[in-house]
Structure formats: C-alpha cells, structure tokens
Structure 1
Amino acid sequence: MKTIVPTAVPDAAPRRRRAVTTTVAAAAVVAVLAACGGGGAGAGGGSGDGETLYALSADNTPNYVPLNLVEPDLPGVDGSVDGFLSIPDPLVRSFDAPPGSGGTYTAMTPLWGTIPPTEGNAYFDAVNEAMGTTLTFQISDGNTYGDKLAAVLSSPQDVADWVSIPTWNEPPRFGQAVEQIFQDLSPQLAGDAVEKYPNLANIPTEAWQACSWNGKVYGLPFPQEVGLTDFAMYRDDMLPDAALPTNADELLTFVEDAGGDGAWGTNDLWATATVIHGVLPANGWELGEDGALVHRVETQEYRDALEWMTKLYASGAVHPDAVADNQGDAGTRFESGQVAVTSSGLGYWHEALTRNRAADPDFSMDVLPVFAADGGEPVIYKPSGANICSYIKKNDDPAAIDELLAAADFLASPFGTEEYQLINYGVEGVHYDLDADGLPVATTLAQREVQPSYIFLVDPPVVNAKVNLPDYVERQTAWSATNAAYVVEPLFYGQNITEPNQFASLGQPFDDLEKDIARGRADMADLDAAIETWRSSGGEELRAFYTEIYEAQQDGGESTGS
C-alpha cells in the first residue's frame, strides 16, 4: 500500500511539456529574485561572498545515526535495501506522546491518483492528532504539479508553510530562489543537532545531499534506493524455461525468442541499454584520458548503446506500439501478455504484481540479471539519494520551525513502528483490518481517504516491506544485494548544480535523436552532426562551466559559478 509514485514519474509528462513548464517557472523565479534583490548571484546560488557551494558542506551535514528498531529478515548488503517478510507483532512505538505543540500549518504536495477529501477525513485527523500538529493539505495533480509550483513560487506570499518539490519540478535558478523563500535548516539539523530528531538522523547522508543547496540543508528528503532503479523485467510465467541472458547479444536473442503465440518479445529497452553499456546518467560527465571533461553524448558507451538499440528494433522483436513510441501503454502490454519483456523503474515490479495477483494468482514476473554488454561486470551509476524534497517556508518564529521539524521526525518513523503503520495504512478497524496472516486489508473508506500525502513531506529510509508479496521481497532484495558491488558514484555526485539558463534545452535534440536512431530513421552520422551542433551551440561553454567547478573543487576551493 506504500506504492504511490509511478515508477517513471519524471517521464510521465512528455519532455516538451516539461520544457514549457520550466520556462514558465524560470520566469516566475527570476521575478521573485529580482524583487528580493537576489538576481545577481552566480549560477547555482551564492554563499553571500560571491562563492558558490554545490555540495553539502561537512559542517552542515546531519550526522547519520541508524536506528535498528526491527531486525530485517533479509539484511541489505553494501547499502542495498533491507527486506521484511512480515509486519512485526507487536509494533514498536516511536513516540510516547505527540511531539507537536498544537500548531496548524498548510502543506502542498503532489498526488498521482484520486485526490482525497481534506475536510472530514478520518485518516488526516488521526495522523494529525498522533503528531500533535495539524497539517492542512493542498494536494495537486502530480502530472501538472510543475505548473502549480511555478504559479505559487511566483507569489511567495501564497507559498504553503511546507512544500514538496520533486527534483524534476525544480525551476531554473532554484538554488537562488530557495534562499529567498525557504528556511535554512542547517542550524537545527547540522552535525549532532539532528540527533534531537532520531528518525531524521536515521536518514542516510546521500538523501540530505540531494536536498541541500549552497552548502546548506534546506530540504527534507523522500529517500530513494541508492542502487539500480530501472532495468528490464520479464514474464517468467510466460518464459518458465528460458535461459537468462548474460550479455548484450544474448539479450537480443532472449527477446527475439520471447515472442510467439500472438505475443511480441519486448517493449522499448533504452533504459536497460544504457545500464548494460555503462552510459553516464543524463547530463553526466566523466574525465577523459587527457583529463578534460567528456559529456555523456560524447562517450563511446553512449554510441554503443544506440548501436545496440538499432539491432533491437531491426530484429522485429519490439511491439509495434512501442515502435510508434506509445510508451504510455507499455505496462498494459506487458501485464496483458502482449509482450514478454519491458524496461521500467523497479517500483513497477511490485505494482504490477499487486494489480494482477488478485485476479490471477499465477501471474509472475522477475527482473533480469544485470550484466555488462560484453558479459563482464556492469557499472551501475549511483542515483541521487532522494528525488523528492520538501521545504519549510521562511518563518521568523523559531517555535514554528521546531514544531514542523518535530512533525517531520514523526513522519520519518521507520517500518515496524506504530507511527509508520498509521501513516501508511491509516487506523486499524477504520481504514484497514488484519487478515489471518496479520496483513492489513484496506477498507472501502481507506480507498477514499488514505492516499499518499505525508510521505511526500519526508519519509524514512527505503526498505522492502511488501509483506503481502514475500516472493517479491526475496527476489528483489537478493537482486539488489548482488548489484550493490557494482555501484559507483558519478562525477559531481551529491551536488545540486544549477546550470545557467541558456543551457536549459541544450540536450533536448538528443531525446528525439535517440528514438530516431533506434528505429532506423537516423544513423551515427546524424549523431556526429548533433554532437558538433551541441558543442557549437553551448556545449563547450557548458564544459567550461563544469570544468571550473571541478578544478576549483580539486584545489579545495569553491567555484564562483560565473
């Protein structure tokens, strides 16, 4: 019941749509900065002395103090997630009394689902009462949330007391706007200060890094797993005896053989292709042999992945709707058996199982093993520690900041606690009943009232606690543990670098070109031309921008961001 965010939320809206939203947001933020006298700082925001800090400073980093309230059934390895096969009985109590002091605050959050009533909602009332603080939600459709944020941020007086901002909805120059609109939480959370809030101290450092700006803690994280988050899954009930691939050529054969009996082999596999070929993350950089920075699109790995995709589409194994770039129905094709393989975010795995097991207990799917294209050890680039952060509006009342942080500590209660159970399932006997195995079964009222809301403000560290799917928990945690050994941090990991506005759409032509090359409508010569255009249209300037940051950090200093 914790599965709320679609696995590919950032890609749920077409990229061109997001570009329009970004432009609107940029104009709004620029107006705010001009009004506040903040428009002259370097790109990425300033520390007040003309320098720009992109990484969370050591002095402002909250201590990481893990909680071990409940022993996992399947402990994580090297940072992979812990797995739980049952809900503890009894649950652990994280708070002896409500931590709040009775204040009332507004909270703005997205939702990819039916928006619940905010008035007369027994779920909201119960959580607010247990927390001792009333949060009144302003919930908006997640698919258009960026537009809503742009409008709100353009009028700071309309900003809610607590605002959830997905990283893909951050407007340009947000590193400057955040200082004008939101509270610097470093004094309350840096170092051992965070230990006043044990559940917040339980959140790993990577998540805080993702929610920091200008060297300071501004955001409260919705942590995500720091291992591989997107890869190919297959219907093992359709392919019970298939030999699983161990290299790129075998994967082509696998999807070709997976078709038949009215089914196609696969949906689009670009995300998987980038993993097995070791392609850098979007807009990623690496050091070339000569010590100069090399952009993702300039790497051999990127080229190899595109060449492999041309083979995939030429094989005829890809469903015609995927060839037509109708990715919105990829899950339907996979779950209905029209295709045997699909590439998606790992959260989709348990979502699809949950949807289909009730009607078909034999429905089954698994994730392919991760391998390098040549069959060797893969390179898995570590994703950001959080892809959603929430921010507290600037407030001159220290008591209000303390109360909201106490509320955040409550909401970060980990799996196995009474508080976690309440936040995620509601009230026993009202929103859920326990079945014979002790698993929560949602009531009709829960379907109306219990929608994800509090989790978008702050969430505990990720665990695999889909206890109603024990086979999934065992498979997923084992898969994650195996891959943990291959996780590496890309250059500039853990840094929020706001690029100058003129580079905002520089990489957009490659989005379409990737599809065209894969489908045979363009070739490698077109890629070469696109790279040269990229370089002459701002790519070299962007390289210089990142080179200045990199060299300053190697020297132990900070970039001016100029």
Structure 2
Amino acid sequence: MAGAGATALAGALSACSGSTLGADKGSAAKSAKLTLPAYAKETLAKPDLSAPGTDPAYLRYPSTTPRSTKGTPGDGKKINAITSTWSLMPPGMASNSYWQELNKRLGSVLAMDVVNGNLGDGYAGKLEALIAAGDLGDMVWIPTNGGALSKPLQLMQAKFHDLTGYLSGDAVKDFPNLANLPTYSWKSAVMGGALYGPVVTYGRLGQVYVVNSKFWEPVGGIAFSSAQDFLDKGKDLLDAKRKKYVLEPAYVNHVHMFAEWHGATSGWRTHNGKLQHMFEQPEYAAAIEFGAKVFKANLFWPDANVADAIDKVAGGQQLGAYVQSYPGYRVDLQTQPFTLDVIVPFAATPGAKPVFDMGTGALGFTAIPTTVPKARIKTLLNVLDYLAAPFGSEERKFLDNGIEGRHYTMGLGGAIRPTALGKAEAVTTAQPVATLCQGPEYLYVPGNDTALRLAFATQKKLLAIAQTSASLGYYSDTALSKNASLTTTMYDLVSDIVSGRKPMSAWAPAVKQWRSGGGDAMRHEYGDAIAKG
C-alpha cells in the first residue's frame, strides 16, 4: 500500500515533448464509450463492521485463508518492473527474504526498479531516462491520467500495448482478482478510448488530517469551533525552543484541509448552473489566506524537507498533525505504536458548510510496453492478478505480511504481529509491489480494536459530509493534456503565498491565466460530457 497516498509528481516527462504524434482530439468521446471491465465481487471473509461506502473492517484476521488464484502465474522468466514507494526503500532482492519468497510464489523473478515517490520529480525523471534509452522493461506503473507526465496519451499510444481486448467487459473475468476491483477505479486506466493496464485501486476516501490526540490534550482535544480557534490553540501548543511545532510543512496539502473547512470543492462543482473549479472558488482563496496566517504564526515545521513527519506526530511530542490519504492513514494505524486519530472537517467560520473530498479511487495503472511480445501479455496479467488478491486470501495474507514465523507472528485473537525483520523487509517491499497492483481496501488494525472502531466511526463521519468532483467519471481532452502542468503552476503559487514569498494579490491574476491556459476549455469539455450523460 502506498502509505503516503497519491503523490503529485513534480516536473514533466520531456522525452516525448518533441514527438510528431498529434493530439487525439476524439479521446474523450472514445473513452466515454469504452466498456469498463465487468465487476465480479469476490468475498472470502465476512467483515465484522460494515456500512454503505465504508471499507470492510475486520477485528480478527480470518482463521482460514483459501487461495484466490490457481497454479503459479509466472513463466519462469524475469519480469522487469518500474514502480514507486512513498516510504523507506526496501532492502535489495539478494538480502530480502520477503522478496525472494514472492519470486517463488510468482514463479518468476520480479525485478523491481523502485523509485521513491517523495523525491520531487524522481519518478518522472526516471521514466524520462528509460524512455530515452528504450528500456521500459515488462511493467511500468503510470500515475493516474499520466500524473505530471508530458503528453501521456501520446506516450501510451506509442510505447504501450492497448489491453482493452484483455480487460474490457467480460474479458477481465479470465483474471478473477482483477474483476473484483471496483468499477469506479478502472476509469483511471482509460486513455484515448483504450484500457492500458490493470488499475491500481485505492480507497475513495481522500486526504485527512492525522493527529496523535495526546498532543492536543492541553487545549481540550481536536474539537474546534472555527479556523480561528484552531489557530489560537495551535499558538498555545507551539514551543519552538523545544522544537515543538503544530503542522508538517506541506503547505498545499494543508490548504486543502483548510479549504474543506471553508466549504471548497476539490476539482469541479456546479455553481449557479455553471461548472466552477476549485481555483475559482472564493472558499479556496480564503483557505490560502488562512494558510498564510498559519505560516506567520510559525505553526509549520521550519524545515520544508522534513522526512519523518509521521513519526513526529505519532510520538506526540514534536508535531501535531500531518496530511495523509485515508488509505495511507489505514496503513499508519497498522504500523505506528500509537492510536492515531483524524480531525473531521468543521466550519471555518459561522455559516460555512464543511465538506470532505472524495478521491478518484485509484493510484493509476500498470502498463505493458510494446517491446514485450504479445504472447507474454497474459502471463504478466496473471502476475498482476495475483498481486490483486483480496483480503481473506492466502495470497493477500502473504503479500501484506510476509512469511509466518519470520516476518510476523499470530497473537491472541488472530492478531498479526510484525517482527523486526517483517518491518524491515515485508512492510517496505509490500509498498512498491502494491503500487503495481493490489486488492480492494479494507480496515484491519491487529490487536487494537479501539483504533479500528475509531477509524471505522471516522469513515462514517467523513462520508456524511463527503462530496466528489462534478467531473469524476467524465473526460476532457484538455484536462488530459494540460491539467497536470496547470495544477503544478497553481500549487507552486499556493506555496509561495502561504510562505510569504508572494502576496495574496497574485492569486486572482494567476486564476485568469489558468482559465485562458486551459481552465475554460476544460470547463466547456466537461460541461458537454456531463450534458450528454
């Protein structure tokens, strides 16, 4: 599981920028007509807690875990895969018993080239170099809609197999675990009217404010009457001399949290009968202004490159909150020795209607380069089908935890306890593996029923005020080609304004440039798609 969630790749892939390939102007219409993979639900373990929209929650690990696949998916040949992690890099294959066991179970050596997704443009830069060298291997993780890659559609059409025939409609049933992936997540694997690979499904709940409640106890906990109340309590907790700060220095992520308090919609919403983007919403501008106040109050950790925010928050001594994807928070609950809580969005000002933004439900997809012979495509899809095994299966138990007695032990009540070796090998290696493909989300906090029930209850609170972008499920050619670069430019300005490098007055002119540079075109294209249903 990508513990830090979907990351915005900074930088752009320039290797295709000089391509003579023209833009596929009909890609949106083609994508809208494509038949998504048929959904065939697979339930191997009945959840202890469940509610509409929530992740299934398990208080105990199932006592029996049947296999969800047959035979060995690999063909004995090495599989070279390019993937990413958002945590510690795993030990190399030669000294990693989890990785070695995975190879045995797959029947092929999965040689992963792992790039740390927290390193700015590291992933995009890696792909740029490999494309230039003509060395994309056998599998490549592609961020949702190409992430920050330049001309992602042309890249897919030129360098990767169209897998529509293998995955669209009932064809996906040849791969039962892939057919068990939720329908909404597959939309992220569609480009130019084609399916380019198995989706990397991800929980639909978006970013959350994660805290250790003990940090906030001196000011009465994490209940806030307004944004000003949050700011005032943060000032009371600040102790710079003891290196005790309130927030990690991820300015854009924090503005997103503040925007939810003010009632801004992430992405697009319908306002006065017209689509309105987040950047145009006055509530988002108010969130940026509040972020600048938080910065001036010195609540952010002073080193913008802090790498261990999760540990500082979990320890309860140095940081009060960090922003995490909800699926990442689920992982943190499993790996941190403290019960972490979440600040549910509240009204920033009297009359404000707080919201919680839902995500796209995917981290992207895994594509197969055209240099791979067509005869091998099904083998690679079978390997990805293995990686997509659901909770309650033998495969998922191994993929998430490793080898029993070596990487984990079974405690009382069926609680899985990772060993020191498990934390070093299984936890770190499972993340880049899951970035290639993984099963549907679930909630399980071994040996900590309190944390699990708290997380489940929080999900219901978030879903009660949840909203999705009006554009979700619709296509825009301009968004595909320009949204990543336009968003990066605007987010850079958000960071500059929050940190005091630029004034708030710079925001309105930037919004006008965003509109003329592609924002208005996206509005028109999404509007047409929504009108056509």
For 1:209-224, list aligned pairs within 5 A. Answer: 209-224=187-202
| Cross-structure match for 2:507 | 527
Once residues 27 and 490 of structure 2 are traced to their aligned partners in structure 1, the CA distance between those partners, rounded to angstroms, is 29
CA 1:164–1:54 in structure 2 vs 1: closer, same or farther (change >3 Å)? farther
2:2 to 5, 17, 30: 5
Once residues 64 and 490 of structure 1 are traced to their aligned partners in structure 2, the CA distance between those partners, rounded to angstroms, is 23
Q: What SS is found at the alignment partner of 2:214?
A: coil
> 1:15-52: per-residue Cα shift (whole Å, max 9, x none)?
xxx23xx1xx22x1235x44xxxx12x2xxx3xxx522
Once residues 305 and 232 of structure 1 are traced to their aligned partners in structure 2, the CA distance between those partners, rounded to angstroms, is 19
| Cross-structure match for 1:81 | 55
Kept in 2: contact 1:265–1:319 (CA 8 A): yes
| Cross-structure match for 1:560 | none
Amino acid at match of 2:376: A
Alignment of 1:305 with 2:287, yes or no, is: yes
Kept in 1: contact 2:207–2:357 (CA 8 A): no
For 1:99-110, list aligned pairs within 5 A. Answer: 99-110=73-84
| Cross-structure match for 1:439 | 415
Aligned pair count reads: 515
Alignment of 1:163 with 2:140, yes or no, is: yes
Once residues 300 and 94 of structure 1 are traced to their aligned partners in structure 2, the CA distance between those partners, rounded to angstroms, is 49
Once residues 496 and 550 of structure 1 are traced to their aligned partners in structure 2, the CA distance between those partners, rounded to angstroms, is 6
Question: CA shift at 1:61, angstroms?
Answer: 0.3
Amino acid at match of 1:410: Y
1:379 to 343, 355, 363: 355
> 1:261-320: per-residue Cα shift (whole Å, max 9, x none)?
965555564231022123343xx34445363x5443222111221233344445x3x436
Instruction: Give the greater-gyration-radius structure (CA).
Output: 1
Alignment of 1:252 with 2:249, yes or no, is: no
CA 1:370–1:52 in structure 2 vs 1: closer, same or farther (change >3 Å)? same
Kept in 1: contact 2:205–2:359 (CA 8 A): yes
> 1:415-463: per-residue Cα shift (whole Å, max 9, x none)?
1111111222222234333334443444565456431243121101111
2:401 to 425, 429, 435: 425
Question: CA shift at 1:65, angstroms?
Answer: 2.0
Question: CA shift at 1:391, angstroms?
Answer: 0.8
Once residues 114 and 222 of structure 2 are traced to their aligned partners in structure 1, the CA distance between those partners, rounded to angstroms, is 47
2:272 to 286, 289, 298: 289
Moved more, 117-126 or 498-507: 498-507
Q: What SS is found at the alignment partner of 1:540?
A: helix
Once residues 395 and 115 of structure 2 are traced to their aligned partners in structure 1, the CA distance between those partners, rounded to angstroms, is 25
Kept in 2: contact 1:92–1:416 (CA 8 A): yes
Moved more, 376-385 or 459-468: 376-385
> 1:40-97: per-residue Cα shift (whole Å, max 9, x none)?
2x2xxx3xxx5222674454201122222101111142x2211112210022322343
Amino acid at match of 1:514: V
Question: CA shift at 1:192, angstroms?
Answer: 1.7
Question: CA shift at 1:161, angstroms?
Answer: 0.9
Moved more, 472-481 or 56-65: 56-65
> 1:455-508: per-residue Cα shift (whole Å, max 9, x none)?
121101111123244322211121112222333331321347565877765455
Once residues 206 and 139 of structure 1 are traced to their aligned partners in structure 2, the CA distance between those partners, rounded to angstroms, is 27
Once residues 547 and 68 of structure 1 are traced to their aligned partners in structure 2, the CA distance between those partners, rounded to angstroms, is 40
Kept in 1: contact 2:247–2:301 (CA 8 A): no
Once residues 138 and 232 of structure 1 are traced to their aligned partners in structure 2, the CA distance between those partners, rounded to angstroms, is 31
Kept in 2: contact 1:55–1:209 (CA 8 A): no
Kept in 1: contact 2:205–2:325 (CA 8 A): no
Question: CA shift at 1:166, angstroms?
Answer: 3.0
Alignment of 1:471 with 2:450, yes or no, is: yes
| Cross-structure match for 1:413 | 389
**TM-score normalised by structure 1 residue count:** 0.80
Question: CA shift at 1:247, angstroms?
Answer: 3.9
Unaligned 5+ segments in structure 2 are: none
Once residues 294 and 525 of structure 1 are traced to their aligned partners in structure 2, the CA distance between those partners, rounded to angstroms, is 20
| Cross-structure match for 1:389 | 365
Kept in 1: contact 2:234–2:299 (CA 8 A): no
Amino acid at match of 1:366: D
Once residues 334 and 361 of structure 2 are traced to their aligned partners in structure 1, the CA distance between those partners, rounded to angstroms, is 26
Question: CA shift at 1:214, angstroms?
Answer: 1.2
| Cross-structure match for 1:360 | none
CA 1:402–1:367 in structure 2 vs 1: closer, same or farther (change >3 Å)? same
Unaligned 5+ segments in structure 1 are: 358-362, 558-562
Q: What SS is found at the alignment partner of 2:364?
A: strand
CA 1:440–1:542 in structure 2 vs 1: closer, same or farther (change >3 Å)? same
Kept in 2: contact 1:236–1:366 (CA 8 A): no
| Cross-structure match for 1:93 | 67
Kept in 1: contact 2:206–2:325 (CA 8 A): no
Alignment of 1:30 with 2:17, yes or no, is: yes
> 1:182-221: per-residue Cα shift (whole Å, max 9, x none)?
1222111111221222211111112111121112211222
The root-mean-square deviation of aligned C-alpha atoms, in Å, is 3.4
CA 1:499–1:440 in structure 2 vs 1: closer, same or farther (change >3 Å)? same
For 1:140-155, list aligned pairs within 5 A. Answer: 140-142=115-117, 143=119, 144-155=122-133
CA 1:375–1:131 in structure 2 vs 1: closer, same or farther (change >3 Å)? farther
CA 1:553–1:525 in structure 2 vs 1: closer, same or farther (change >3 Å)? same
